[in-house]
C-alpha cells in the first residue's frame, strides 16, 4: 500500500541541514533516535526540567493538572479511563521540575492507516510557555513512536491556534492536509500529518528567508497560494484544488496579516487521492 501522507517540502523553502544534522541522517534509525532523545533531555536539563514516561500512578495528578489548564468544555472530554488508555496503549510524557508537573502530552498508536502515531493533549503550565518546551516534548514523543514502529504522525490542530500551527508546521515540519469545519465539540480543526522518517523529521522545517525569496520569484495562484489565516472558505478551497498548507507566515513579513502558504500537493510528492 502506498502511504498517501508521505511528503517532503521543497528544499527551496526549508532549512539547510547543519553538519551535525547531516551526520545524523547517515546513522541507523536506532542511533538517530537515541542521539536525538539524549539531546532533548540535555536541553531540558539546562532549565532543571526532567522528562519521563508516565505510569498508572500518575493518572490522578495528570487529570488534575490537565483539568486546571484546559477550558471546561475540552477538559471534560477526558476521563480516568482515557488516561489509562493513553498510558496502556500509547505513551504519556511528563515534564517536571522538583517533582512538580510542568507539562504533559499523550500519544496513542493505530495500526492503520500506515501505522499512525496520534499525539494529543499537549498541556503546558503558563510559566513555561514560549520557550520551545512543547516542541521538544512532541518531538520526543515522535521519536518514541518511531522506535516502536510508527510511520507517521497524524493529529488535528485548532484552526484559530496560530501559535501551535506555526510551531508544528514551520518548526517541526508538519503539513495541513484538510479541515473539518464545525464538528460538534471541536469547532474548526485542521487535519495534519508528519512522516516519521529521518527525512520527514529533519528536512521539512521552514526557512522563512528562503520562503520569502520563493514568493518573490514564483507565481501566486499557480506555484503557491497565500491565504489569510481567518479565511476558512479559502482554506477549504485550497484543499479542494489539491494544495497543502506547508507554512504559516506571521504578520509583518509580507504585510500586517497572517497568511497560510500552500503549495500543489504534487510538488511535495503527496497523493491526496485515498
Q: Is 160 helix (H, G, I), strand (E, B) or coil?
A: coil
* pLDDT at position 261 over 80: yes
Model confidence at 273, pLDDT cuts 50, 70, 90, reads: very low
Q: Would you say 33 and 147 are in contact if contact means Cβ atoms under 8 Å apart?
A: yes
Domain boundaries, the chain: 1-16+155-274, 18-150
Of 155-159, 167-171, 227-231, where does mean pLDDT reach its minimum? 155-159
On average, the pLDDT of the chain sits at 88
Average pLDDT over residues 95-111: 88
pLDDT (0 to 100) of residue 1: 36
d(CA 191, CA 207): 23
What is the phi/psi pair of residue 131, to 5°?
-125, 25
pLDDT (0 to 100) of residue 73: 43
Average pLDDT over residues 98-124: 85
Q: What percent of the chain has pLDDT over 70?
A: 91
- The single-letter DSSP state of residue 46 is T
Average pLDDT over residues 56-73: 78
* pLDDT at position 13 over 80: yes
Query: Over the range 160-184, which residues count as b (16 or more CB within 10 Å of their CB) and which as e?
Result: eebebbbbbbbebbbbbbbbeeeee
Pick the most confident of 92-101, 127-136, 239-248: 239-248
Least Cα distance to 94 among 45, 58, 64 occurs for 58
What is the phi/psi pair of residue 26, to 5°?
-90, 0
* pLDDT at position 146 over 70: yes
* pLDDT at position 46 over 80: yes
pLDDT digits (tens, 9 = 90+) for 112-134: 767 888 888 888 888 887 778 88
For the beta carbon of residue 77, count every other beta carbon within 10 angstroms. 11
Cα separation values, 177 from 85, 140, 234, Å? 27, 23, 14
pLDDT (0 to 100) of residue 4: 59
d(CA 6, CA 131): 29
pLDDT (0 to 100) of residue 122: 86
Q: Is 55 helix (H, G, I), strand (E, B) or coil?
A: coil
Cα separation values, 205 from 9, 10, 82, 170, 242, Å? 8, 10, 32, 5, 21
Q: Is 267 helix (H, G, I), strand (E, B) or coil?
A: helix
> Is the domain 18-150 a CATH 3.40.630.30 member?
yes
- The single-letter DSSP state of residue 93 is E
pLDDT (0 to 100) of residue 188: 82
pLDDT (0 to 100) of residue 90: 82
Least Cα distance to 6 among 229, 253, 194 occurs for 194
What would the grid cell of residue 269 be?
A: 510528492
Write down the pTM of the prediction.
0.89
Model confidence at 80, pLDDT cuts 50, 70, 90, reads: confident
Average pLDDT over residues 34-48: 94
What is the phi/psi pair of residue 15, to 5°?
-65, 140
Least Cα distance to 67 among 58, 55, 76 occurs for 76
pLDDT (0 to 100) of residue 185: 63
Model confidence at 254, pLDDT cuts 50, 70, 90, reads: very high
d(CA 258, CA 239): 19
Least Cα distance to 203 among 30, 6, 31 occurs for 6
Residues in the chain: 274
Cell match 489548564: residue? 69
pLDDT (0 to 100) of residue 183: 67
Of 99-113, 181-195, 205-219, where does mean pLDDT reach its minimum? 181-195
Of 21-25, 116-120, 141-145, 200-204, where does mean pLDDT reach its minimum? 116-120
What is the phi/psi pair of residue 240, to 5°?
-60, -30
Amino acid at each position: 500500500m502506498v502511504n498517501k501522507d508521505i511528503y517532503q517540502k521543497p528544499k527551496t523553502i526549508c532549512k539547510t541541514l547543519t553538519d551535525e544534522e547531516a551526520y545524523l541522517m547517515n546513522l541507523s534509525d536506532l542511533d538517530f533516535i537515541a542521539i536525538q532523545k539524549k539531546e532533548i533531555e540535555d536541553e531540558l536539563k539546562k532549565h532543571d526540567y526532567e522528562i519521563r514516561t508516565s505510569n498508572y500512578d500518575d493518572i490522578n495528578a495528570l487529570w488534575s493538572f490537565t483539568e486546571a489548564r484546559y477550558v471546561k468544555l475540552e477538559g471534560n472530554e477526558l476521563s480516568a479511563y482515557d488516561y489509562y488508555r493513553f498510558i496502556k496503549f500509547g505513551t504519556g510524557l511528563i515534564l517536571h521540575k522538583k517533582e512538580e508537573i510542568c507539562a504533559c502530552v499523550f500519544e496513542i498508536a493505530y495500526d492503520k492507516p500506515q501505522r499512525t502515531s496520534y499525539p494529543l493533549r499537549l498541556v503546558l503550565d503558563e510559566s513555561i510557555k514560549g520557550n520551545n518546551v512543547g516542541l521538544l516534548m512532541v518531538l520526543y514523543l515522535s521519536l518514541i513512536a518511531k522506535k516502536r514502529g510508527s510511520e507517521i504522525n497524524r493529529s488535528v490542530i485548532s484552526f484559530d491556534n496560530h501559535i501551535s500551527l506555526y510551531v508544528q508546521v514551520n518548526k517541526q515540519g508538519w503539513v495541513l492536509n484538510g479541515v473539518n469545519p464545525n464538528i460538534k465539540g471541536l469547532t474548526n480543526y485542521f487535519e495534519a500529518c508528519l512522516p516519521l522518517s529521518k527525512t520527514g523529521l529533519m528536512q521539512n522545517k521552514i526557512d522563512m528567508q528562503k520562503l520569502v525569496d520563493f514568493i518573490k520569484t514564483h507565481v501566486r495562484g499557480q506555484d503557491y497560494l497565500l491565504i489569510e489565516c481567518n479565511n476558512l472558505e479559502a482554506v477549504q478551497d485550497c484543499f479542494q484544488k489539491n494544495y497543502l498548507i506547508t507554512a504559516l507566515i506571521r504578520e509583518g513579513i509580507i504585510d500586517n496579516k497572517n497568511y497560510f502558504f500552500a503549495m500543489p500537493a504534487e510538488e511535495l510528492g503527496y497523493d491526496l487521492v485515498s
